[in-house]
Amino acid sequence: MQTGFAFTKLADRLATVAELSADDFDLVAKMPSTISHFSSHDHILRTEDPPSSCCCLLLQGYLCWQEQTSGQITSIHVPGDVPDLHTVVSPKLHANLTALGPVVVAFVPHAFFREISVRSPDLCRALQLVSLADAACLRNWVSNLGSRDSLARAAHLICEITFRLRAVGLAKEYRFPLPFTQSDLAAACAISAVHANRVTQELRKRRTLQWHARTLTITDWHALVRLASFEPDYLGLRDSVARRGYSSYSPAPTEPDRAAPSHRTSMPGRLGL
Amino acid sequence: MQTGFAFTKLADRLATVAELSADDFDLVAKMPSTISHFSSHDHILRTEDPPSSCCCLLLQGYLCWQEQTSGQITSIHVPGDVPDLHTVVSPKLHANLTALGPVVVAFVPHAFFREISVRSPDLCRALQLVSLADAACLRNWVSNLGSRDSLARAAHLICEITFRLRAVGLAKEYRFPLPFTQSDLAAACAISAVHANRVTQELRKRRTLQWHARTLTITDWHALVRLASFEPDYLGLRDSVARRGYSSYSPAPTEPDRAAPSHRTSMPGRLGL
DNA sequence: CGTTCTATTGACTCGATTCAAACTAAGTGG
DNA sequence: CCACTTAGTTTGAATCGAGTCAATAGAACG
């Protein structure tokens, strides 16, 4: 596991949407932050919480926005994301920000984002682009829920997560920690937990992936992409970054589904600060 | 039908999310624009179109973003909206902008939005807020598609449209032009056209609305809101504006479903320029 | 070592789709 | 003004994907 300072996660993410100069990088490096750890299904932010003056930069693990009443998950976030970036402009929350598995986050003052926006047009644009990418993701989820059957929905979700992880340098070898419960998957794909189980079994049966011990291994990326009709354009990644999603893919070494998980990418680990 | 200049539609919309000063209003009034008319199901923007240097301000009628392949509608826009405001930052299009019924739009140069953002912090914030409102809308659609049955989905869509129309001074008396086909409704609610028909019949049977001759009349707003579990917070409207959605509601005069449409709000009409 | 999540399985039910046909309304042109 | 065309709406019957309920098995955790 590569260790690093919290700001590097943000810098990596911003670099996926815009080219950053050395000066930009130095500005980001001044990021003040408070590191916090959370356990699975903890609420990082609740609808009823008072307005905060910080944003939440995800360093490790997964976060999701989840509707209070229906339990529907409306978006999933990966390291480098700032799920509540919009609170810099308007502090209102309409859902709960929930941990999917153990997570490490850095709380970063709103003022920091305002400052780098003012100081660097590049960084301002990069922040706007990640906001737009979030919106584009949501639009894609609407079409995902609206037009795909449950199997393709789940496949699409996994494609999206894989692609976004790879954009920020994770999910090498198409194997990565995915500490979701099947109920979490169900809440994201808008299917029942029972059906989520049947869908994951079908994905396993088709030899597209293995998912065991909170680790997911994609064994046939192209088949998964085809099944999901996955078109990563909407993620707004720079061409050079998007190429990471596809390049250098060779099927992961096949092992029995119940084999011991890889140690390389075990999660959670300490953030090296 | 109230006549007016194109900029007033934008000003009305911005005023729903932020308080505008007289100076702000004067700035908006300098908006350059080219007016265009389109017919139902015309494409205003196509995925494959080259980047434009203009945004599209909707003056009359309805626009939607529609997926090329699945036909899924991912958002619907009402007068005052700038559906492609994001192209000011990134020109990429991922779907088609399509007319639902006859529409009148004003094409406004990107430069204008940049200029008012620079000149007035209030207007800059107002533009950010309408962008956030669009994103919040998308998030709400995800939860709408994910957690409601077809009847509640349709009811929710109608509640949302009604509320947004009323925010910009339209849909008085809870009666307004809605020149959608039932297939359009189906594409927005992610149901089949046949089922959309059954849903509209059920809504009529429950005496919540009438929908005939391209005009929709809500006959029981509270029942519709209840059926949809509609919570308008997510629209990001200022309190005084949001109150318009509910206040002064009294059931519209009941007339047979097949009665002649009202003349007051007939559409399309000429934009008084 | 029991308690508590989580995953799995089967049987039954139901909402929504599909297909096909008929019907209505709205143009269009002779 | 009517015949023709096309788009949109309505209906019924058969089918299917997914949900629900209920019970069991397995894993994780203190």
| Integer CA distances (angstroms), A55 to A114, A273, B183, in order | 12, 19, 42
Q: Is the dihedral of CA A24, A26, A27, A28 positive or negative?
A: positive
pLDDT at position B44 is: 98
- Label residue B245 by pLDDT band (50, 70, 90): confident
> What is the spatial distance between Cα A204 and Cα A158, in angstroms, rounded to a whole number?
13
Tokens 């619907």 sit on residue: B76
- Whether B183 sits with its Cβ under 7 A from any strand D atom: the answer reads yes
pLDDT at position B36 is: 96
Residue from the list A134, A140, A147 with its beta carbon closest to the beta carbon of B135: A134
Q: Is the dihedral of CA B176, B181, B187, B191 positive or negative?
A: positive
* Nearest Cα residue to A86 out of A38, A52, A120: A52
> What is the spatial distance between Cα B260 and Cα B241, in angstroms, rounded to a whole number?
31
CB contact set of B207 (below 8 Å; sequence gap of 6+): B219, B220, B223
DSSP string, A166-193: HHTT--GGGEEE----HHHHHHHHTS-H
What values do phi and psi take at B164, rounded to 5? Answer: -70, -35
Residue from the list B95, B129, B233 with its beta carbon closest to the beta carbon of A89: B129
Q: Inform me whether the pLDDT recorded for B251 exceeds 80.
A: no
Rounded to the nearest angstrom, the minimum Cα separation between A258 and chain B is: 32
How far is it between the farthest Cα atoms of chain A?
A: 53
Contact A147, A165 (CB under 8 A): no
Per-chain mean pLDDT for chain B: 91
B94 in reach of chain A (CB within 8 A): yes
Q: Inform me whether the pLDDT recorded for A262 exceeds 90.
A: no
CA of A215 to C1' of D19 (A): 28
Question: The pTM is what?
Answer: 0.91
| pLDDT tens column, B128-168 | 999 999 999 999 999 999 999 999 999 999 999 999 999 99
> Which chain A residues are within 8 Å of B146, Cβ to Cβ?
70, 72, 74, 145, 190
* Burial call B145-164: b when 16+ CB within 10 Å, e when fewer: bbbbebbbbbbbbbbbbbbb
Percent of chain A beyond pLDDT 70?
89
B236 in reach of chain A (CB within 8 A): yes
- Label residue A245 by pLDDT band (50, 70, 90): confident
Nucleotide nearest to A190 (CA to C1'): D18
Nucleotide nearest to B151 (CA to C1'): C15
What values do phi and psi take at B261, rounded to 5? Answer: -70, 155
**What is the crossing angle of helices A121-147 and A150-167, to 10°?**
160
- Whether B192 sits with its Cβ under 7 A from any strand D atom: the answer reads no
pLDDT at position A247 is: 63
pLDDT at position B266 is: 33
Rounded to the nearest angstrom, the minimum Cα separation between A188 and chain B is: 8
CA of A108 to C1' of C7 (A): 38
* Burial call B76-94: b when 16+ CB within 10 Å, e when fewer: bbbbbbbbbbbbbbbeebb
> What is the spatial distance between Cα A146 and Cα A271, in angstroms, rounded to a whole number?
38
Rounded to the nearest angstrom, the minimum Cα separation between A146 and chain B is: 5
Residue from the list A128, A139, A140 with its beta carbon closest to the beta carbon of B89: A128
Q: Inform me whether the pLDDT recorded for A268 exceeds 50.
A: no
> Which chain B residues are within 8 Å of A234, Cβ to Cβ?
94
Question: Helices (DSSP H) in chain B: which residue ranges?
Answer: 6-17, 22-29, 110-119, 121-147, 150-167, 182-189, 193-205, 221-228, 239-246
Query: For residue B226, how far is the Cα from the chain centroid?
Result: 21
Q: Inform me whether the pLDDT recorded for B243 exceeds 90.
A: no
Dihedral (C-alpha) A64, A68, A73, A74: value to the nearest 10 degrees? -90
Least confident of A41-50, A239-248, B43-52, B58-67: A239-248
Question: Which of the 8 DSSP states describes residue A18?
Answer: S
DSSP string, A46-103: -TTSPP-SEEEEEEEEEEEEE-TTT--EEEEE-TT--TTGGGGT-----SEEEEEEEE
| pLDDT tens column, A202-226 | 999 999 999 998 999 999 999 999 9
Laid out side by side, the sheet with B215-218 consists of B175-177, B215-218, B209-212
- Label residue B62 by pLDDT band (50, 70, 90): very high
Q: What is the CA radius of gyration of chain B?
A: 18
Subunit contact A138:B143, Cβ cutoff 8 A: no
- Whether B252 sits with its Cβ under 7 A from any strand C atom: the answer reads no
What letter represents residue A195's amino acid? H
**Secondary structure tally for chain A: helices H, strands E:** 9, 8
> What is the spatial distance between Cα B271 and Cα B268, in angstroms, rounded to a whole number?
9
B67 in reach of chain A (CB within 8 A): yes
Tell me the mean pLDDT in the region A31-40.
Answer: 97
Question: Which of the 8 DSSP states describes residue A145?
Answer: H
Which of A122, A139, A230 is the best mutation test for B, with the most CBs of B within 10 A? A139
User: Which residues 156-215 of A interface with strand D at a CB distance below 7 A?
Assistant: 190-192, 194-195, 213
CB contact set of A1 (below 8 Å; sequence gap of 6+): A265, A266, A269
- Label residue B247 by pLDDT band (50, 70, 90): low
Which of B86, B114, B137, B138 is the best mutation test for A, with the most CBs of A within 10 A? B138
- Whether A40 sits with its Cβ under 7 A from any strand C atom: the answer reads yes
CA of B250 to C1' of D9 (A): 30
Q: Inform me whether the pLDDT recorded for A264 exceeds 50.
A: no
The CA-based angle B50-B54-B57, given to 5 degrees, is 125
What does chain A come to in residues? 273
User: Which residues 87-116 of A interface with strand C at a CB distance below 7 A?
Assistant: none
- Label residue A257 by pLDDT band (50, 70, 90): very low
Subunit contact B86:A132, Cβ cutoff 8 A: yes
Contact A75, A144 (CB under 8 A): no
pLDDT at position A243 is: 86
Percent of chain B beyond pLDDT 90?
86
pLDDT at position A244 is: 82
> What is the spatial distance between Cα A158 and Cα A136, in angstroms, rounded to a whole number?
17
Strand D contact nucleotides, protein CB < 7 Å: 7-13, 17-22, 28
Residue from the list B128, B138, B147 with its beta carbon closest to the beta carbon of A67: B147
> What is the spatial distance between Cα A140 and Cα B72, in angstroms, rounded to a whole number?
10
Percent of chain A beyond pLDDT 90?
86
For residue B266, what are its two tokens?
């007939």
Q: Inform me whether the pLDDT recorded for A48 exceeds 50.
A: yes
Dihedral (C-alpha) A91, A96, A100, A103: value to the nearest 10 degrees? 40
pLDDT at position B252 is: 57
Query: For residue B209, how far is the Cα from the chain centroid?
Result: 19
For residue A245, what are its two tokens?
């999603």
> What is the spatial distance between Cα A23 and Cα B159, in angstroms, rounded to a whole number?
49
